Amino acid sequence: MSGQTCSTDVVVLGGGPAGAACALRLARLGHRVTLVERATRGRAHVGESLPPTVLPLLAELGLPERIESAGFLRPRGALVQWDDAPHELSHDGPEPGFQVDRGHFDALLLEAAEAFGVNVLQPVAARAPRVDGDEVQVPLDDGRVLQASYVIDARGRRGAMNARAPATAALYAYWRGVIGLGARTRVEAGDDAWYWGAPLPDGTFNATVFVDARRCAGLDPWQRRALYRELIARSDLLGPSLDSAVCGPLQVCDATPRVDAEPISERLIKAGEAAFSIDPLSSQGVQAALRSALQAAACVHTMARREGSQALVQRFYGEQVERAASRHARLAAGFHAAAARHREHGFWQARRGAAQAPASRA
């Protein structure tokens, strides 16, 4: 297998929602697509609330039946405490969204892509793509080399990206034996952090705390876990019910909104969080990734089928990425400003005007 060169039309790097959706759409448009994912299928991933507005995107991808039959929870409301008292947010539309296990959700999207002819290579890691004239070569760690006309990078946040808000870290864990929290998502603003919690179909409960990233810097695993437990105990909506529950391993990830300065070139296109990432407050991360994937697939299809369209397509996609990143930044800044009216801590004050602040290089 070592040294073997495999030819395809498009290589998609990354098997998350953006990568799988992009590969699926291109396969349905008649392109030969190879998707490369380094992690095993069904890998653990933080839980995700998918709002009802994601349903048209799933329908556009031909996925509703797969998702609806997966057994994901579909709560019709959330409990929110963003000022002084909790209140119900209810969804009164014909269909609610989903509360998904991201490992299962991502696997379903990959299975759908395979069903439409996408060649999925997993688990295998890809090295940096090399552009050579009208072709791109993607070396794999197993010795093979993929050769394609276009490469879509959907591997998430990578390399230097422009931060659109102060650096934020997400500390999360899965809890067992949780009693009394029900099926609703819970969102709460604390004095110097904010909380998100939701149950999953397997009976676990995901509780996440979003803090200024500097609070985690330099802490060893034990100290991070102690910080997480201390913050959870302060939560009105989560603390009392989690006090007697069993906390699983703590995980930490970057939750800073970012945007790539060059999301598209003549042969390389970035999709999903490789192009831009948004503040988790909106609960629209997967939705934004799917929309980005559909746009990236449309760009590749247009460039492949219409000679001379590259400049127009590149300008269009760059504008779409910037527009989406700016829109979500303004939305998040509004949420932070609402919390800042009741709290003087620098965590909130620094983020209330993040949409207007100049982007910084990270």
- The string of pLDDT tens digits covering residues 282-339 is 778 889 999 999 999 999 999 999 988 999 999 999 999 999 999 998 888 888 888 8
Nearest CA to 359 among 326, 312, 321?
Answer: 326
pLDDT at 93 over 80: no
Is 185 part of a structural domain of the chain? yes
Nearest CA to 53 among 283, 277, 255, 279?
Answer: 283
Portion of the chain with pLDDT greater than 70, in percent: 93
Is 250 part of a structural domain of the chain? yes
Mean pLDDT throughout 151-180?
90
* Tokens encoding 232: 């959870």
**Sheet with 268-270, side-by-side order of all strands:** 119-121, 33-36, 10-13, 150-153, 268-270
In terms of domains, do 212 and 314 share one? no
Is 286 part of a structural domain of the chain? yes
In terms of domains, do 65 and 189 share one? no
Beta-strand runs (E) in 202-247: 205-212, 246-247
> Which residues, in sequence order, are CB contacts of 266 under 8 Å at separation 6+?
131, 303, 310, 314
Q: d(Cα 275, Cα 317) in Å, to the nearest integer?
A: 10
Q: d(Cα 299, Cα 295) in Å, to the nearest integer?
A: 6
Is 332 part of a structural domain of the chain? no
* Tokens encoding 27: 């396969």
In terms of domains, do 178 and 308 share one? no
- Domains: count for the chain: 2
Is 359 part of a structural domain of the chain? no
Mean pLDDT throughout 209-225?
95
Q: What is the CATH number for 69?
A: 3.50.50.60
| DSSP letters spanning 63-81 | -HHHHHTTT-B--SEEEEE
pLDDT for position 216 = 92
* Residues constituting the chain: 362
- Residue 57's SS3 state is helix
- Whether 64 and 55 have beta carbons less than 8 Å apart is answered as yes
In terms of domains, do 200 and 239 share one? yes
Mean pLDDT throughout 122-143?
93
pLDDT for position 45 = 62
In terms of domains, do 273 and 222 share one? no
Confidence of residue 2 (pLDDT cuts 50, 70, 90): low
- Average model confidence (pLDDT) across the chain: 89
pLDDT for position 96 = 80
Is 343 part of a structural domain of the chain? no
| 157, 161, 281 from 362: Cα distances, Å | 11, 6, 21
Q: Taken in order 286, 291, 294, 299, is the CA torsion positive or negative?
A: negative
Q: d(Cα 218, Cα 199) in Å, to the nearest integer?
A: 31
Q: d(Cα 150, Cα 131) in Å, to the nearest integer?
A: 9
pLDDT for position 73 = 78
| 108, 173, 285, 349 from 71: Cα distances, Å | 12, 22, 21, 40
pLDDT for position 362 = 39
pLDDT for position 98 = 83
Rg (CA), the chain: 21
Over the stretch 14-73, which tens digit does the pLDDT of each residue have?
999 999 999 999 999 999 999 999 988 766 666 577 888 889 999 999 998 899 888 887
pLDDT for position 355 = 46
Q: What is the CATH number for 174?
A: 3.30.9.100
Is the bond preceding 123 in cis, omega lying within 30 degrees of 0? yes
The number of helices, as runs of H, and strands, as runs of E, in the chain is: 9, 23
- Tokens 């490992």 belong to 103
Question: Which range of residues forms the domain containing residue 145?
Answer: 5-74+100-161+257-319
In terms of domains, do 130 and 9 share one? yes
In terms of domains, do 246 and 272 share one? no
- Tokens 């688990």 belong to 123
